[in-house]
Amino acid sequence: MKNMVKKLAVTGLLSMSIFGTSAVAFADASMDFKATGVLYDENNVFTLKGEATNTGDKSIETINKVVIDLTLANDAGDKAQYELTASGISVHLAPGESKPVEITFADIPYFTDATTYDTVEKDWEFTYFEAAEAAAGSEAGEKQLVTEQGGSITVSNVSSEAYDEATQDWIYTVAGAATVTIHGDAAAADLVYISEAGEMEPVVFTDHKAELNKPGVYTGMVVFGELSDNTNTARFSVKVNP
């Protein structure tokens, strides 16, 4: 396998270009990914190495999903095609910024004497970090999470925030109490309180607001637009300290 990769690098037989545009609603969100190399490791894990460039006008935190149609071919005319899905790729790119990115796939059988790799990308989904920064100029202590559908939630009295890439939740920490407010037409809203003892109970939104006034963790999800469209979902957790 190492010989194959070395041969491809030396002879220049590797040919790959990747270009993708987000499949979400905004026309100003786009990503360009240019491959700089590939690698099969000893376990046949296939890695695409390249440079991701944010070519749109929105700051992209994470590539939540991209579907890649990969075609492998050799000089003998053999060809193999795969539809692959990659997710959870952290990039944190403002418009115009670039960075090296590696995408690995463990389900591609080793292809003998491959000389070309061609890809087509589709179904891009992004998380935008300006959603969390949009509230920077607003009232101190209030943070806003904006979805791609245009709906949003605000959390008051926030002392700190963080993004969990594994769960794709924004995590807000508050002191004493907070109010969560829904802005826009929500198709569904779910908020659960988990006490320090581990007991759980639902929290009701009244007039698009929910009061968080007990110490513990609140986990929530608000869906704007179609219930089946996860890109319109605001996922968040609020930790209320005494």
Q: What is the DSSP string of 62-119?
A: EEEEEEEEEEEEETTS-EEEEEEEEEEEEEEE-TT-EEEEEEEES-----TTEEEEEE
Please tell me the predicted confidence (pLDDT) of residue 90. 80
CA distance 202 to 192: 4
Domain boundaries, the chain: 2-128, 130-241
What pTM does this model have?
0.45
Q: What is the mean pLDDT of residues 103-113?
A: 80
Q: What is the mean pLDDT of residues 194-207?
A: 90
The 10s digit of each residue's pLDDT in 123-173 is 888 887 754 444 443 443 788 887 766 678 899 988 888 887 777 788 898
Contact between 184 and 113 under an 8 Å Cβ cutoff? The reply is: no
CA distance 103 to 47: 6
Cα dihedral 84, 89, 93, 97 sign: negative
**Mean pLDDT, the chain, as a whole number?**
75
Above 60 in pLDDT, residue 112? yes
Please tell me the predicted confidence (pLDDT) of residue 210. 94
What Rg value do the Cα atoms of the chain yield, rounded?
A: 22
The 10s digit of each residue's pLDDT in 5-42 is 322 222 222 223 222 222 333 336 788 877 776 777 77
Of the pLDDT bands very low, low, confident and very high (cuts 50, 70, 90), residue 190 is: very high
Please tell me the predicted confidence (pLDDT) of residue 193. 95
Above 50 in pLDDT, residue 234? yes
Please tell me the predicted confidence (pLDDT) of residue 239. 92
Q: Which residues pair with 152 in a beta bridge?
A: 146, 183
Of the pLDDT bands very low, low, confident and very high (cuts 50, 70, 90), residue 204 is: very high
CA distance 172 to 132: 11
- Topology of domain 2-128 in CATH is Immunoglobulin-like (2.60.40)
Starting at the edge strand found earlier in the chain, the sheet holding 216-224 runs 158-164, 169-175, 233-241, 216-224, 186-194, 200-202
Please tell me the predicted confidence (pLDDT) of residue 178. 92
Eight-state DSSP code of residue 137: G
Q: What is the mean pLDDT of residues 91-120?
A: 80
Above 70 in pLDDT, residue 57? yes
Please tell me the predicted confidence (pLDDT) of residue 5. 32
Please tell me the predicted confidence (pLDDT) of residue 132. 43
The 10s digit of each residue's pLDDT in 66-81 is 888 888 888 888 998 8
Please tell me the predicted confidence (pLDDT) of residue 155. 92
Please tell me the predicted confidence (pLDDT) of residue 25. 32
